A and B are shown apart, each in its own frame.
Chain A
Amino acid sequence: MISRLLVANRGEIARRVIRTCRALGVGTVAVCSDPDAAATFVAEADTVVPLPGATPAETYLRGDALVAAALAAGADAVHPGYGFLSENASFARAVLAAGLTWVGPDPDCIEVMGAKVAAKKRMASAGVPVLPELDPESVMDGQLPLLVKASAGGGGRGMRVVRSLAELPEQVAAARREAESAFGDGTVFCEPLLEGARHIEVQVLADRHGTVWALGERECSIQRRHQKIIEETPSPGVDQDTRDRLCAAAVAAARAIGYVGAGTVEFLLSATGEFHFLEVNTRLQVEHPVTECVFGLDLVAWQLAVAEGARLPADPPTPSGHAIEVRLYAEDPALDWRPASGRLLRFAVPGVDAEFAVPPGHGLRLDSGVRDGDEIGVHYDPMLAKLIAWGPDRASAARRLAAALAGTRLHGLVTNRELLVTVLRHRDFLAGDTATDFLDTHDLAALAAPLADADAVRHSAMAAALAEAHRRHRDRPVLAGLPIGWRNLVSQPNRTSFTRDEDTIDVEYRHPAPGLVSVTDGPDGDLHVVLDLSGVRQRFAVAGYDTDRGRVVEVDSPLGPVALLTVPRFPDPTERTVQGATVAPMPGTVVRVAVEAGQRVEAGAELLVLEAMKMEHRVVTACGGTVAEIRVVAGQQVDAGEVLAVLEPEEEQS
């Protein structure tokens, strides 16, 4: 029996494993990097072993340090979670060699499946349909488009679409760099890109006694940059016959490699009902909660039981209802999914029925790695949380999930929340018409558009201005009991200006403001503003935060969330940006500098490349001119807003 388990991971998956351990009475050991020292999962574990450093390579990817941590803390088992070393056979071996229990399949099995190229061959020989592999050196035009994938990969990292031969070498190189950084293995391979196909995967669970369960399929077609953002079970595109065939293929695949524990067999399902094997994920998947909900089981508990040698019953439980999961990312879909970093000022999902566990009866489940006030850094995956709705059918699950997401108080960071809501409410999604190119074949700008329309923004800004006015008045050391903004002679309206993305919103109001029904104190220091909008009374919850960026005011209402930045009443005269300065769009590390001082550059020329959140971001010039100064060097860590280079703009043509 396992008595104390080290979770070789971080964030929400660490919390997920800890939750089950607590339910089972198993002690928990967390490891944490320096930036994670104050994270929730660290606080929740019984024992913590700090791993000095910040980057994954210094911390969560260091197998030796993890094994040492387990031994030091007296753990007798290791759960790798997902990502990091979860599919690293040598780590699994090191764990076993240290006399610890490895919660996962046998290292050989991981190794076989980890090398994606070899894995496909193995499956093909077991009778599982596979896609042909393409050699990057000899690819022909006719074989395009293709996909470059990291052999050791997962989670879309290192994956690139190539549509012309010209871009192939560069994309392969970039994929290698990313794979090297993410997995410590730069091997990549190519296969045909099936457009319009669905990503379908089957959850398998196998014990050491020959029983293999196929726990239905999950549809994970809605993806961005090959990373899943919406997952559900069952798939709207899979009928019972296909389901039977998929499950049979998955069981065959698992048996072919002697798989033990929880794993996932991934397939591409074409519109014609044909499917091809993609890979086996020899670990727990991010999207395992949907399967847990529908099958009413705890996969982590079963992983531990299997690792302890337990037998599975002959037949899996019967599925019930429909579950959909969304992954909430700190990223801006409208800006090419640019990762956002900064402080998560508030994260509160309304009506959560269970956390890290199957809700009793249909309901809402939250698996979150973050909480209010957390700093979302640049070192790790920008996923904040997973939200899962389990309903009697797909439509009710989608409705519940969209409503919960839309009503979530999510302050301080740009996220993909509104995109998720729009997709969940999209006609095509509701019709079950999903494929891996969903976001490419639909208008991304429309999908990513804010839920709040122009009127909603205007009303929200008014609510924000009035709430802020009342907050100021309430907190005033003198005259707080007098009517707000009282004047015996009125000479002008009150004015507040906000910025929202690129827009400036000017609000003018008088006290008492027409249309203002009430301002009352809500929980968590919020103010609730009720406005009368042509006879309809609308409530707005307004939260204000003093941040490094200035005064942030977040307005939530059924009209959609609106995040506003208050324009300071008095501009700070010392705050003058250097003319022609190019500043870092986000915190990150300079990968390479493409220009040197004195060089003439065109508008849009690449100045340098920043790596942030495991992604490379090109920093380009806003105008043509001469590079006057380069202030950074490769390898340097920079903060958002830091001046990277100074450009002398070209003289205007006269």
Chain B
Amino acid sequence: MPRAEHIHAPPLIGLLRSASGRFALFFTAFFAAAATAAAVILWWNTAGALERQVDAAIRADAAALTDRRRMPTVEALAVAIEDRLALDVQNEALYLLLAPDGAKLAGNLEAWPSEANAEQPWIRMPLLRDGLVSEARILRLDMSGGYRLLVGRDVAEKLRLRGLLSEGIAWAASASAAIALFGAWGLRRALERRLSPVYGTAKEIAAGNLSRRVPLSDRDDEFDRLGRIMNAMLDRIAQLMEGVRGVSDAIAHDLRTPIARARAKLEEALDGARDEAALRAAVEQGIADLDGIARVFQAVLRIAEVEAGARRAAFAPIDLAPALADAAELYGAAAEARDQKLVSDLPTSLPLVGDRDLLMQAVANLLDNALKFTPDGGTVRLSAELSPVLVEIAVADDGPGLPQEDRARAGERFFRADAARSTPGSGLGLSLVRAVAALHGGTVTLGDTNPEAERPGLTVTLRLPVG
């Protein structure tokens, strides 16, 4: 049996590697920090306050006894200490008054501790009472005449209270940690559950099922927005792939006919040419046919180049009016040859930012189409208008027009309406116009020239932004 090659990371590393795990850990750390801050504040306001209270009581007591020492004899101080001890119902007070020679004069402490000789006047010491060790907080006072006094309190009760508080905080911290971990686990699970449709969709698409889309919930949250964007992206990819497939099919289909025709002509000439001149004419015709095929390829490549946006770098501020006037003159001559009329209505200036060659190629394609579909004696109209934000160029003919259902497909590569099958052309002209318009951030719309007429004609309007 083959062994699995997959190496599992330790759980903590696995958790850190996943974004949801990191969010969860961040949540736990944040929660722990908040709980710690709450515990510190609680401690400061309870146990801390008790300690400060004890210190304040000792300080006040010491100040009162220091006043007593100002009396002529030290006995007054000794009596005050004994009185205080006699009235100490809480049994917390601790005193020791020593004479300069070390003799005990008053107080309830057995001996002077060596720790009380340290530089710090405040000390904390263990205290033995009834065989139980508690704690004493003591202040040392060095008095005039070499007398020394210790004033303190038994803080056993405070310690007990502090112990209870510590236990409470520890329990609360444990509960908080458990809740934080549970919350982190829940957060991670929720994130993974919400992301699993995205994973699933991506996995199926990677496996080749391109029709799969991310299922959306009715919550309209961030994950639904992500799902919608992914679906839109997948739709766009599918559309582009469909387009590529369509173009490949169209190239194969539309070029097969002229190639077959050229081949048939050459074969016919080879078999039936009566003299060298007839053979030569057939070869020339074959070359012309192949040139036509090469032109189609060139047009396809040019459209691809325009759609890729590579020409955007050549954009520059231009005035389209003189170029349109030149085109009108050039195509006007061609129109006259067929008894057609080309009427132009152009402003003196049409400033915009773009690629002059591409725009003129687009206009030339429109004029070429219009003249091709306009009957002899008909009229083609080239007009342009400038508004503050748009340049609008329209080419109108009075040909047969284009049925409504064909207009949406009119920009597709190699698309030719049924009525146009007999007219020479490759079905790429309007594709290039659309690609050029899209490159400039503009649009192309198709409409009837005379909607009421039997032959409604076609008006193609190219709208381009000025800036």
| A and B together in one complex | no
Q: Which residues of B contact A (CB under 8 A)?
A: none
Q: Which residues of A contact B (CB under 8 A)?
A: none
